[in-house]
Structure 1
Amino acid sequence: MQIQTDKKIFFASDQHFGAPTSEKSLPREKKFLRWLNDKESEMGALFILGDLFDFWFEYKTVVPKGFVRILGKLAQLRDSGIPIYFFVGNHDLWMDDYFITELGIPVFHQPQVFDINGKTFFIGHGDGLGPGDYGYKRMKKVFTNPFSKWLFRWLHPDIGVRLGQYLSVKNKLISGAEDVTFLGEENEWLVLYSKRKLQEAHYDYFIFGHRHLPMDIEVGKNSRYINLGDWINYFTYGMYDGAFHLEKYES
């Protein structure tokens, strides 16, 4: 990917729109929309690193109600020629082809490597990577199994979506106390994962979400691990203009 010198690349993650309720989520949606509007003229590309929604499931002909402002803005950005890349998180892991067919936005279910202006970026949501967390890893295998998705589709959307939204909020999948506590470099599992990946190949930047905590940590020679934070407590995002910056949106 080659980005024009007068443009920047933006990264954002963990908006969790719809949680804890649609009414309480709306101010955050509007703030994120203001951010997209403010950055549009500078935007050479946009990476959304998962958990844009607190719950998302696509039936064959039905998607969850709401989020029209955000979806409309993403469609407008994409129609204007700005590349957008979406990585599913643990809340919207049941994303299927709606973003692809309706918005023209590719959807990734696994981390991807991008070469951007000669720098190598390893990008993903971050859930299920690194050591430990075996309970979640087993649960994710069940949830992403095609048979599990087939069974869930047999629930009427009014029941299935409401159940999914309830369980998502009930299970603290919107930021819990452990998500906003720095565990130390030696215990941050995405730091450990990044260091392990560096034994296989060099990456200039590891960009993740999921932890809900803004972090910028050197993990090797000329290699940094960036966690983007969230749009619940921090309203932080990443910006690359030849160097990577972790910034807070104040408006």
Structure 2
Amino acid sequence: MTIPEGKKIYFSSDNHLGAPTQKESRLREKKFVQWLDEIKEDAAAIFLLGDLFDFWFEYKHVVPKGFVRTLGKLAEIKDSGIPVYFFVGNHDLWMNNYFEEELNIPVFHKPKEFEFNNKTFLIGHGDGLGPGDHGYKRMKKVFTNPLSKWLYRWLHPDLGVPLAQYFSVKNKMISGEEDQEFLGEDKEWLIQYCRRKLEKKHYDYFLFGHRHLPLEFQLTEKSMYINTGDWINYYTYAVFDGKDLTLEKL
């Protein structure tokens, strides 16, 4: 993609709409929709890097109710001709084809390479990447197993949705009850993942969410890792103006 003069690409992640309560979520959702409304004026594309929802499951004919402001604004932006891309996170990994069929927004389940103005990007949510976190990696295999999804679909939405939301909000990181701190590059799994990828191929930028901590980390002289933070504590996002990628705050 070549970015026209005066246009920008925006990257955002970890809104966790629906948590910890609908009332608190609604306030964050309104801020997010207002931000979408503002950036559409100069957006060449918008990337949503996962965990837009705190829980999302697509039954055959049902999706979780709510979030109409966000879905409506994304539909409006996409219909206006601005590309929107969605990467599933660990909280909305049960997304199937609703976004693609209803909003015409492509959905990615793994990190994907892009090139903008001759700059190479590797973009994804970030969960389960790099060394460590073996417990989550095993759990993810169970959650994404077709049999697991088929069995869960047999739960009535009035039971399945609130049950999943309850366990999701119990996670202190998601509910915002636990401060996030930089652990040092040797313990930051996404930094380790980026370094390993650079051993095989050069990327100018690595862009991930999941960590809930805004980060700009210079991997090499010509390669940078940016984490977009979240819309719970930080309200941060990344912007590429065709030349440089920066982390911004609402």
TM-score w.r.t. the length of structure 1 is 0.97
Structure 1: 5+ residue stretches without partners: none
Per the alignment, residue 247 of structure 1 pairs with 248
| CA deviation map 1:46-92 (0-9, x unaligned) | 00000000000000000001000000000000000000000000000
**Amino acid of the residue matched to residue 60 of structure 2?**
K
**Amino acid of the residue matched to residue 155 of structure 2?**
L
8 Å CA contact 1:13, 1:50 repeated in 2: yes
Structure 2: 5+ residue stretches without partners: none
Per the alignment, residue 39 of structure 2 pairs with 39
Per the alignment, residue 143 of structure 1 pairs with 143
| CA deviation map 1:102-129 (0-9, x unaligned) | 0000000000000111100000000000
| CA deviation map 1:147-191 (0-9, x unaligned) | 000000000111111111111112336155666111012211101
Per the alignment, residue 169 of structure 2 pairs with 169
Query: What stretches of structure 1 move > 2 A for 4+ residues in a row?
Result: 175-179
Distance 2:34 2:123 in 1: 25
Per the alignment, residue 101 of structure 1 pairs with 101
Secondary structure, counterpart of 1:211 in structure 2: coil
Query: Cα–Cα, structure 1 residues 246 and 222, in superposed 2: closer, same or farther, change >3 Å?
Result: same
Distance 1:83 1:139 in 2: 33
Kindly report the root-mean-square deviation, in angstroms, between the aligned alpha carbons of the 2 structures: 1.1
Secondary structure, counterpart of 1:185 in structure 2: coil
**Amino acid of the residue matched to residue 243 of structure 1?**
D
Query: Cα–Cα, structure 1 residues 102 and 215, in superposed 2: closer, same or farther, change >3 Å?
Result: same
8 Å CA contact 1:179, 1:212 repeated in 2: no
8 Å CA contact 2:19, 2:175 repeated in 1: no
8 Å CA contact 2:172, 2:178 repeated in 1: no
Identity %: 67
Distance 1:175 1:208 in 2: 20
8 Å CA contact 2:55, 2:168 repeated in 1: yes
TM-score w.r.t. the length of structure 2 is 0.97
